[in-house]
Structure 1
């Protein structure tokens, strides 16, 4: 199962997210849940990097079973708003996958 943990501030801003595990929906290369979650998360990270030019902390394992993205502190307000909008879009997309494939992906908020 893919476990996604979204860490938020007290006012609901996303500070970081962590994805761990493998969906095991199908064989490697055929797993649409894994492919979908990966496309959404890496697409979001790439969009943030390209559109905001921030330097977040990104940690990942070589086997693809771990990804952590941390938003830098004290961003300019306009940049922070863009980052938050993109991250909120990612969460909505992941929740859509979770709704249809809840046995294979689970999202938590803290």
Structure 2
């Protein structure tokens, strides 16, 4: 199962951790894993490209682990961009969870 843990501060996302494997299909055909990966990595890439924020990113060597931390000290404009993009990511993840709750759980 994939576990997504969201840590908030002042009504914003400070950190999120995605861990585990969905195992909803054979390797290479796991739609839940592919969807979660696309949503999370796409969101991180969008934040990096659109805001220039210097995110702290940790990944597991074999996959199945991603932790992203939003740094302190960003301008208000940059923080707004980061939060909008990560809240959009969370909405997408919750949509996946709604359809595939046997394979993903979100703690927000």
- Tell me whether the two structures share a fold, i.e. TM-score over 0.5: yes
1:12 positional shift: 1.5
In the alignment, what sits opposite 1:96?
95
In the alignment, what sits opposite 1:105?
104
In the alignment, what sits opposite 2:3?
3
Q: Where in structure 1 do 4 or more consecutive aligned residues deviate above 3 Å?
A: none
**Are residue 29 (structure 1) and residue 28 (structure 2) matched?**
yes
1:105 positional shift: 0.3
Q: How far apart, in 2, do the equivalents of 1:28 and 1:53 lie?
A: 34
1:62 positional shift: 1.3
Q: How far apart, in 2, do the equivalents of 1:27 and 1:59 lie?
A: 26
Q: SS of the residue aligned with 1:41?
A: helix
RMSD over equivalenced CA pairs, Å: 0.6
Consecutive unaligned residues of structure 1, counting only runs of 5 or more, are none
1:18 positional shift: 0.0
Give me the TM-score of the superposition, normalised by structure 2. Answer: 0.98
Consecutive unaligned residues of structure 2, counting only runs of 5 or more, are none
Q: How far apart, in 2, do the equivalents of 1:48 and 1:8 lie?
A: 17
Number of aligned residue pairs: 108
1:74 positional shift: 1.7
